Structure formats: structure tokens, C-alpha cells
Amino acid sequence: MSLARAFADRVHARAPGKINVSLDVGPRKDDGYHDLVSVFLAVSLYEDVVVSHSDGFSARITGDIDVAGVPVDETNLAVRAARLVVEEAGWNGGVHLDIHKRVPVAGGMGGGSADAAAALVAVDDLLHAGLGAPRLHRLAARLGADVPFALHGGAAVGVGRGDELTPALTGGRFDWALVSHPQGLSTPAVYREFDRLREGDDAAACGSTAAGDTAVLQALRAGDPRALAAAVFNGLQPAALSLRPDLGAVLVDGVERGALAGIVSGSGPTLAFLAGGESDARALAASLVTAGHDARHVHGPVHGAHIVSRAG
Ligand code: ATP
């Protein structure tokens, strides 16, 4: 164990946002949940969490994005994550979290889940708890369906609520332009709209394509963006577009500006446009910015939650 490791009293961890490159949603079950089959891709838009010892639990939130809607109290998912690790480790003290956000809030990219995953690994490290991957994964699943993937990173198939993960092989990197929106979408509201559409005349527009998942996994394995573009699928997209019809024109605009495909990310409203390669994605993002959109280039797969540095 190095000296820095032994005496660190501030630990900095980082975790990625995600795109659902396919998302099959089953009907609402009696317990209110929907069974999902999703292929997740972790992308290079990161949340940074720095943790330090404290008497109680507190958080300070900053960001490259508008963070006004993010709670700093015990309802913050990262604070809940920190508390879980402290309890699991039997530690008699608290933790302060400095969270720097880049993933759009309520954007469908799992930003809060990434904060929680980063907090899990950071507090585990700060306390020298040594909980190990299986226990951290169990804590992650208790916090929320997207937290295990933010811990895991890379690409993976998630079933159940999305938290039963199997790693997926990727044969290369995929470059995207993301378009985010100042006004987020509530995930429960999108699922309610999904249920409403499914019960109505638009049932055919919603739901699942088991064959689509296979095509997505093959395209990821082959590292082939064109094949992936033909296979991406989001069963929540009709519901997100129903609540936010303005997104439809942006999807068309992105494809006209050179994207191979455009989809709503998760429950939206962030839009993910797949490009043929890095320079294409950079040019696409620049073109979307010229058109007045809030756009940036990202790539995936990238690593899940990990320690960046220790200090003190
Ligand atoms: P989902 O995982 O449901 O798709 P999302 O990516 O759409 O989520 P998030 O930014 O993760 O959206 O958060 C959704 C809501 O959760 C926010 O509006 C906020 O009220 C609450 N929240 C709790 N903790 C956090 C956090 N650390 N960062 C952002 N939001 C948080």
C-alpha cells in the first residue's frame, strides 16, 4: 500500500453517462414496473465526484450544465450511495461530496446514476472498505436500475429493470453527437405516456424487437457504425416524442446534417446521433451547434466508475 493510498483524505472518482443503443420495453406489470431488455453504451460525458471525511452527509453541486434542479440533501442519489457504503463498512462518521456534473439533468443519460456509481467507488476507497465488485454491484442495484451499469461501464445488455447485466463485446469505438435540451423529461412521466400509447391505437409503435437486440450486439461486436445505425431502437421514443413533439424535427435535422441515425436516449429528451467516425461526429456536432442546438461530440465505450486521484 503506497503512502498516498494510506493517508488520502480526499478521493476523486469519475463515472460516465450512458446511451441506450437499444431499449425494448415490456408492458406494465402489476408491481408498476416494466421488464426491459436494453443494450447500454457508456460514453465520454463524465460526472466527477470528490469525497472527503465529514461529521455528517452533505453535497455541493457544480456543473458545466444547469444543475438548479439537482437536490443537495439526502434525496441526492450520490449522497444515498455514500451513506450505503458507510453503513456497509461500519464506519462511524460521514462524508462530504463535491459533485461536478456534465450529463444533462433528467436527460435520459443516467447522470444521477453516474454520480451514485462514482460515489460508491470513491467512498469505498476513502474508507479503505474494500467492499469489492460484487458487493458494490449489490449496493448499486439497491440505488437504482441504471447505477450498476454506470459502475460497470463499457457496453452491456441489461434485463429485468435493466440492472441484471451481461457484458457485451465491442470491436471498436462509436462516435456520436449528443443534443441536449434545457428542459428535462421526467422518466416516470415518459413511462406513463408509454402505457397510455400502448393501451391505445398506437400500440404498434411501442414495445420491443427481440431481433433488434441481436443486430445491435452484432454491430457492436463488429465495430460497424453503419450496421449499428440500422439496428438502434428505443421503445420509449414514441412516448418521449408524444410529450415533446419538438424533438422530432431535431431528429430529422441531425440525419439531414449527416448522422447515420438519430435516437432519443433512454427516456429523453437528449438525442443521440451516430456518426461514421470521429471526424464525422465532430463535424456533425459543429453543424448542429451552428443550427442553434446544444450539441457535443462523445464516444463510447468508455470505462465505468473509477478512481481518478487521491489527495491529502
Ligand atoms: P434516469 O436514470 O431516470 O433515466 P435521467 O438520466 O433522466 O434519469 P437524472 O439526471 O439522473 O435523469 O436525474 C433525474 C432526477 O433525479 C433529477 O431531476 C433529480 O430530481 C433527481 N436526482 C437525484 N440525485 C441526483 C443527482 N446526483 N444528479 C441529478 N439528479 C438527481
So what's the pLDDT on residue 88? 96
Tell me, yes or no, whether 254 and 116 share the same domain. no
Mutate to test the pocket of ligand 1, among 14, 61, 77 (most ligand atoms within 8 A of CB): 77
Same domain, yes or no, for 160 and 272?
Answer: no
Instruction: Please give the residue range of the domain that contains residue 221.
Output: 174-300
Phi, psi of 174 (to 5 degrees): -120, 135
Enter the C-alpha cell of residue 65: 450544465
**Choosing from 24, 115, 146, 175, which is the catalytic residue?**
146
Tell me the per-residue pLDDT of 14-28, one tens digit each, with 9 for 90 and over: 999 999 999 999 888
Q: Average pLDDT for consecutive 10-residue bins of the chain (312 residues)?
A: 59 98 91 91 98 96 93 96 97 96 95 98 97 96 96 95 91 97 93 91 52 87 98 96 97 98 96 98 98 97 98 86
**Does 295 lie in the same domain as 283?**
yes
DSSP string spanning 199-216? HTTTGGGSS--HHHHHHH
Pocket test for ligand 1, best of 46, 65, 70, 109 (most atoms within 8 A of CB): 70
Distance from the alpha carbon of residue 174 to the mean position of ligand 1, in angstroms: 25
What's the pLDDT score for residue 222?
Answer: 98
Please answer whether residues 17 and 300 qualify as being in contact, where contact means their C-beta atoms are separated by less than 8 angstroms: no
Does ligand 1 lie within 6 Å of residue 117's CB atom?
Answer: no
User: CATH number of the domain that 153 lies in?
Assistant: 3.30.230.10
Write out the three cell numbers for 179.
443534443
Judge if 152 and 179 occupy the same domain: no
The confidence score (pLDDT) of residue 163 equals: 82
Q: How far is CA 287 from the centre of its chain?
A: 25
- In this prediction, residue 8 carries a pLDDT of 76
String of b and e for 261-282 (b: at least 16 CB within 10 Å)? Answer: bbbbbbbbbbbbbbbbeeebbe
Hey, is 56 helix, strand or coil?
Answer: coil
121 and 148 inside one domain: yes
Active site residue 24: no
Whether residue 92 sits in one domain with residue 23: yes
pTM for the whole thing?
A: 0.93
Domain count, the chain: 2
d(CA 66, CA 233): 28
Pairing of β 10-28 and β 34-54: antiparallel
Q: Would you say the CB of residue 112 lies under 6 angstroms from ligand 1?
A: yes
C-alpha cell at 201: 391505437
Instruction: Compute CA distances 93 → 55, 65, 83, 237, 250, whole Å.
Output: 5, 31, 10, 44, 48
One domain, residues 255 and 143: no
pLDDT at 155: 98
CATH number at residue 213: 3.30.70.890
pLDDT digits (tens, 9 = 90+) for 51-98: 999 999 999 999 999 998 899 999 999 999 999 999 999 999 999 999
Q: Is the peptide bond before 71 cis (omega within 30 degrees of 0)?
A: no
Do 154 and 238 share a structural domain? no
pLDDT the model gives residue 7? 58
Q: How far is the CA of 221 from the centre of ligand 1 (A)?
A: 30
The Cα–Cα gap between 33 and 25 comes to: 10
307 and 291 share one domain: no
- 163 with 243, same domain: the answer is no
Same-domain check for residues 134 and 9: yes
Whether 158 and 9 share a structural domain: yes
The residue whose CA is least distant from atom 27 of ligand 1 is 112
Check residue 312 and give its pLDDT. 79
Nearest to 65 by CA among 46, 91, 89: 46
- Does any ligand 1 atom lie closer than 6 A to the CB of residue 71? yes
